[in-house]
Structure 1
Amino acid sequence: MGDITALVAAAAVVIGGSNGAAQDQVPPAHALDAPAFVLLTLLAGTVLLRRRAPLVMLLATSLLLGLFFAAGYPHGPAVVPLVVAALSVGLRHDRGTSWRAVLVANVVLLAGSAVGHARGYATGGWGLVFGMVGGIALCSVPALVGALIRLNRFAAAQAAQEATRRRIEQERLRMAREVHDVVGHSLSVISLQAAVALHVLDRRPEQAQVALEAIRRTSVDALGELRSTLTLTHAGRQATP
C-alpha cells in the first residue's frame, strides 16, 4: 500500500508538475512530447526502488534525468525522484559508497546538461552554470542530509545500548551488595552463636543446643536468600544485549 501511494504521489508531482514548468520554460526549452512523458513516467516509477535498492534508484534517476536534460526538456518537478534517491542512499549506505554514487550521478547530470546546452536548449552561459550548480546541489545536499540522519540514528542507538548496559551493571552491583549484606550478616550471627555454643557446651548443653539450632536456621535462611539473589543475577545476565 505504501509503494502504491508513493508511486501515485510521484506520478502526480513529476508528470503533472512538469506540465506547469514547461509553460514557463518553453522556449528556449524543448516542449514536452511523447518521449518526454515516457521519461517522466519512468522517473516516477523509480520511487519503488527507494527502500529495496536506493543505489539503483540513484543511478536510474540520474540516467533518466541526463537524457531528459540532453533532450532539452524543461527542468522542474522531474528532479524530485533524484532528491528522494540521493536522500535514500545517504540514509542506507556508508559515507564512501554514498559519495561515490553521488559523484557518478553528478557526472551523468552534468553531461546531460552540457548536451542540452550544446543543442541550444538553454538561456545562455549563465543558464548552463546555474543549471549545473543546481543539479549538483539537488543530488549532493539530500545525500548529505541522509548521511547526517543515519549517523544521528546510529549515535542514538549506541547511546540507548550504553544506557541499557549501565542499568544492567548497576542492577548487578545492587545485587552484589545484597549478597554481601546477606552473607555478612548471616556469618556474623553464625559466628556469635558458635561462640556461645562453645562457651556453654560443657556446663549448659541445653543452651549449646539452642545456639546450634540458631546456627542451623540462620544457615538455611542465608542459603535461601543467597539462592534467590543469585537467580535474579543470572536472569539479569541473560537479559544483557
Structure 2
Amino acid sequence: MKIRTSAYVPGRMVGGMRITWQDGALTAALLFFGLAGTRFAARLQGGEPLDALAYALIVVAACGLLFRTVRPMWTVTVTIASIVVYLALGYPFGPILVSGVAAIYAVALYARIELAAVSALLYALALLPWWNDTLTSWVTWSAGWILLPGAAGVLVKLWRRSAVDVRERTAISERLRLAQEVHDVVGHGLSVIAMQAGVALYVLDKDPAKARASLEAIRDTSKEALDGLRSELDTLRGSAPLAPVITLDDVPALAARMREAGLEVSVEVARIELPDTYQLAVYRIVQESLTNVLRHSSPGVTASVRVFTVRDELVVHVTDTGTPAEFTEGHGITGMRSRAEALGGTLEADASQGFSVIARIPLPA
C-alpha cells in the first residue's frame, strides 16, 4: 500500500485551500480598524452616519484578504470591487482604503508582476471618479498608497526568490561535492581491489603467501572504501560523526597501497602548512591520478608524485612512464579540475608523453 505524503503548512483548510493564521490575523486587524475607524472618518468629513450596507462592504473588503496567499487575484478583485461599490454609494473615504493597500501588496507578492501592475492601475483609476480633490493629489495619493505597496510586494518576492535560489545552489553544490567524494573513494578502492584480486588469482598456486598478502590488501582497501562511503552517506543524512582529517601526510600511505597493488610510485611532498580544504583537494587529485594510472597503464609502468611550491603557487604534478596515447576526459579528471578551480587554480591533463596531471593552485593568503 502506498502512502502519499506532503509538506505540512500550518493553517485552516477552507474549500481545499489552506488559510494561514497570518491571513486571519491581518483580516481581523483590518476589520477592527475599518469598523472602528470609519465612524470617525465620516464625522470628520461631515457625512451621514453609516448604515448596515456600508459596514457590510467594509467587512467584505477586509475578508478578501483571507485568500491573499492562495488566491491573490480573488483578494484584489473582491477588495477593490467592495471599495468601488462603497464609494459609488456615497460613503466617505476612510479605513476601507487600507484593505485596498493590503490587497495590492498581496497581489504583488503572490501573483505575477504583470497582474500586480494591472491591478494597481485599475485600483487607482477606480478611485478617480469619486476623488474630491485635485488631480495632483490623486496622483500623489496613488503613488504613496498604491504604487509603493505594490513595489514593496515585488521587492519582497524577488528577495524571497533569490534566497530560494541561493539555498538551491548550495544544495546542488553539496550534492556534487558528495558525488565527487563517493566517486573518488569508491572508484579508487575498486581499482585497487580489482588489481589485487588479479594478483591473488595469478599467484594463488605458485606463491600462497603473496596471494594472502593481496587478499589482506583487498580486505583493508574494501574496509577503507566502505568507511569513506558510510561517512559520506552520514553527511547526506545530516548525522555525520567527526571523521579523521585527510592531510598531505597521508599521501605516502596512499603510494604504499598503490605499490601493493603493483604500481611503483615515488613520492616527493614538500612540508607546507595548508588549510584542511587545500590538503584534502591535493590528496584527492593525487589519489584520482594514481587510480587512473593503475587502471589504464601497462605492466611495468611507474608513477611519480610531486607536491611543491613555486613562488605563490602550490603545484601538484603526477606523471607515469607510459607510452603516448589519446584519452577522453571522464568524471575523474573533471572532478580533479573542479577541485582545483574551487580553490582558484587550474588543472591540466595530458597523455602525449605518458599520463600527466599538473594542478596549480594559488597559496592561501
Q: TM-score, normalized by length of structure 2?
A: 0.50
Residue 38 of structure 1 corresponds to 56
Residue 96 of structure 1 corresponds to 114
Higher-RCO chain (CA-CA 8 Å, sequence separation at least 6):
1
Unaligned stretches of 5+ residues in structure 2: 1-11, 13-20, 239-365
As a proportion of its length, which structure holds more helix? Answer: 1
1:13 aligns with 2:20: no
Q: How has the CA–CA distance of structure 1 residues 237 and 140 changed in structure 2, closer, same or farther, with 3 Å as cutoff?
A: same
Residue 175 of structure 1 corresponds to 182
Residue-by-residue CA offset, 1:133-160 (whole Å, 9 max, x unaligned):
4145422321221121111111111110
Count of aligned residue pairs for this structure pair: 217
Q: How has the CA–CA distance of structure 1 residues 220 and 5 changed in structure 2, closer, same or farther, with 3 Å as cutoff?
A: closer
1:213 aligns with 2:212: yes
The answer on whether the counterparts of 2:62 and 2:79 sit within 8 Å (CA) in structure 1 is no
* Segment of structure 1 superposing worse, 155-164 or 98-107: 98-107
Letter in 2 for 1:160: R
Residue 170 of structure 2 corresponds to 163
Residue 325 of structure 2 corresponds to none
Residue 107 of structure 1 corresponds to 125
* Mapped partners of 2:195, 2:86: distance in 1: 87
As a proportion of its length, which structure holds more strand? Answer: 2
* Segment of structure 1 superposing worse, 58-67 or 218-227: 218-227
Letter in 2 for 1:56: W
C-alpha displacement at 1:90, in angstroms? 1.1
Residue-by-residue CA offset, 1:15-67 (whole Å, 9 max, x unaligned):
111122223222xxx33421433322322332223233221221222222223
Q: How has the CA–CA distance of structure 1 residues 137 and 58 changed in structure 2, closer, same or farther, with 3 Å as cutoff?
A: farther
Residue-by-residue CA offset, 1:149-199 (whole Å, 9 max, x unaligned):
11111111111011111112122222333235545666787799899x69x
1:1-241 correspondence runs (5 A): 2=21, 5-26=25-46, 30-34=47-51, 35-110=53-128, 114=129, 116=130, 122=132, 125-126=133-134, 128-135=135-142, 137-179=144-186, 181-183=188-190, 208-226=207-225
Q: How has the CA–CA distance of structure 1 residues 185 and 48 changed in structure 2, closer, same or farther, with 3 Å as cutoff?
A: closer
Residue 3 of structure 2 corresponds to none
Unaligned stretches of 5+ residues in structure 1: none
Letter in 2 for 1:214: A
Q: How has the CA–CA distance of structure 1 residues 225 and 189 changed in structure 2, closer, same or farther, with 3 Å as cutoff?
A: same
CA RMSD of aligned residues (A): 3.7
* Mapped partners of 2:190, 2:56: distance in 1: 80
* Mapped partners of 2:147, 2:184: distance in 1: 55
C-alpha displacement at 1:10, in angstroms? 1.8
Letter in 1 for 2:161: F
Residue-by-residue CA offset, 1:90-124 (whole Å, 9 max, x unaligned):
111121222122222222222xxx2x35xxxx3xx
